Amino acid sequence: MFHELAAALALIGIVILVASLLSGIIERSGLPQVGIFLLLGVLVGPAGLNLVNLDLQSPALQAIATLALVLVLFSDSIAVDVAEVKRQKKLALLVLGPGTLIPALLVGLAAWLLLGLSPLHAAILGAALASTDPVLLRNLLRRPSLPGTARLALRLESGMNDAVLLPIVVLGALAIQSAHGLSPREFGQHAVGLFLLGPALGALVGYTAIRLLEHVRARWGVRRDYESLYALGVAFTAFAAAEAVDGSGFLAAFAAGLVVAGLDVELCDCFLDYGQATAEMFLLFTFVAFGAWLIWSGVSVADVSTLLFALVALGARTVVLLPVLARAGVDPHSSRVIAWFGPRGLSSLLLILLPVFAGMPGSDRLFAITCLVVLLSVVLHGAGIALFLRKDTGPVPAAPAEAAPRAQAVTMAADPVPERITIAEVRKLEADGKPYVLADVRTDRTYASDPLEAKGSIRLPPDDAVRTARKLGLDHHGTVVLYCA
């Protein structure tokens, strides 16, 4: 027992160290982070140090996959900019409607014709492989030069299409199990839990948590870093509440994240600042666990028919989206970016594991086929993202020259000037002729939703401040006044 605990802690430590040390290199080079951690899984798996050795029946795998899917669904829903979605309703409906369901239908049809699967098994596989992976897309979505339309579409699709596809996977698995002993009453109970109890309880937990936080924040205050942990607590509480009454804990976590995104932007930003890094570390740990052995099972099913199916699975989305986006009036460059960058990854693996854990007949083969498609996607889409990022010069947006100054407290980053500074003190610096730089360091969500900026300020994105400062040539010993509200 002690040795297993030590091995688990060692693996977690290795993931954190490697992810931290390589973060800058990966950011600049565009190398697929997922691919690196899959190879790390080989190193710690049975073929290497033998620290990790999981199979599809392992309780540890079920725990890891469950936590990972909760974090994927919650992280993506809480990152949704509700105001932007309302402004771009047509684009949102396109990518989450025909842009998600038609590829799922085409992939399912290919699975039926090429692989000889039953219609229900094919539908489950098609839905799982229609999921766009948010982990592979994160470096791309962080680039400031990515067209705004492409950023919104990819963020919406990778963040919300899991919630569209999850019911197809679950209902398909239930329908197959109903032919093997699941009663109509049990099927109905599961359907109610999936579509009603899960989302309703998730929304209730999210709403209650936000109101409680607002009360405590107004009366006593809450530390910003603890707000990010609070958000994670909301996700896990929503999942547990729904599962306790046979509802869908996954859709509950997703619904809770949407409620938080709609009611409390500050908590969303706190989570994106701190909690998302924690969630991302766990998702990378999940890739290491898959890379130890499980994902390589996809190689064992590689033959002419499965490789042909994989090509269809990877190309169906592009074929569907290009004409759909063109008819919607999306510019050609954004359309090409949106249509090409639809990687399959962790989300597909986690979705297809749900019928595996439920004991659905034939699910092992579906998992192996999914693994093959994901491996090919990591190579093809990872290489495409890397090439795109290398060509990216990353222009730095500047603030409008005539914008009115914001009446907010700001902070000072350089010594020996006080850490906090008032607007009056900034004006005194200007009156005394002392040079300083005024920098807007609001999160991307807040920055994009508010056109008002301080006059003469520059934009320093908080997640890319050092690189941007170097690009602008800011004086290392100069005074920088930061504002974030």
Render pLDDT for 153-201 as a digit per residue (tens, 0 to 9): 888 888 788 889 999 999 898 888 777 666 777 777 778 888 889 999 9
**458: which strand partners?**
398, 439
CA–CA separation, 482 vs 472, rounded Å?
A: 15
Q: What is the number of alpha carbons within 13 Å of residue 51 lying toward its C-beta?
A: 22
Pick the most confident of 227-231, 266-270, 461-465: 227-231
Is pLDDT larger for residue 321 or for residue 262? 321
Mean of pLDDT values over 476-482: 80
Judged by average pLDDT, the poorest of 342-351, 356-365, 386-395 is 386-395
Residue 116 region by backbone torsions, left for phi larger than 0, else alpha for psi between -120 and 50, else beta: left
- Which structural domains are found in the chain, ordered by start? 2-391 (1.20.1530.20), 410-483 (3.40.250)
- pTM of the predicted model as reported, rounded to 2 decimal places: 0.78
Render pLDDT for 264-307 as a digit per residue (tens, 0 to 9): 666 656 566 565 666 777 788 888 889 888 999 999 999 999 99
Is pLDDT larger for residue 202 or for residue 53? 202
**Residue 416, pLDDT above cutoff 50:** no
Q: Which two tokens stand for residue 376?
A: 């090919």
> Which pLDDT belongs to residue 193?
82
Annotate the chain with three-state secondary structure.
CHHHHHHHHHHHHHHHHHHHHHHHHHHHHCCCHHHHHHHHHHHHCCCCCCCCCCCCCCHHHHHHHHHHHHHHHHHHHHCCCHHHHHHCHHHHHHHHCHHHHHHHHHHHHHHHHHHCCCHHHHHHHHHHHCCCCHHHHHHHHCCCCCCHHHHHHHHHHHHHHHHHHHHHHHHHHHHHHHCCCCCHHHHHHHHHHHHHHHHHHHHHHHHHHHHHHHHHHHHCCCCHHHHHHHHHHHHHHHHHHHHHCCCCHHHHHHHHHHHHHHHCHHHHHHHHHHHHHHHHHHHHHHHHHHHHCHHHHHHHHCCHHHHHHHHHHHHHHHHHHHHHHHHCCCCHHHHHHHHHCCCCCHHHHHHHHHHHHCCCCCHHHHHHHHHHHHHHHHHHHHHHHHHHHHHCCCCCCECCCCCCCCCCCEEECCCCCCCEECHHHHHHHHHCCCCCEEEECCCHHHHHHCCCCCCCCEECCCCCHHHHHHHHCCCCCCCEEEECC
Q: What is the mean pLDDT of the chain?
A: 81
Pick the most confident of 138-142, 338-342, 389-393, 450-454: 338-342
Strand 437-440 with 480-483, pairing = parallel
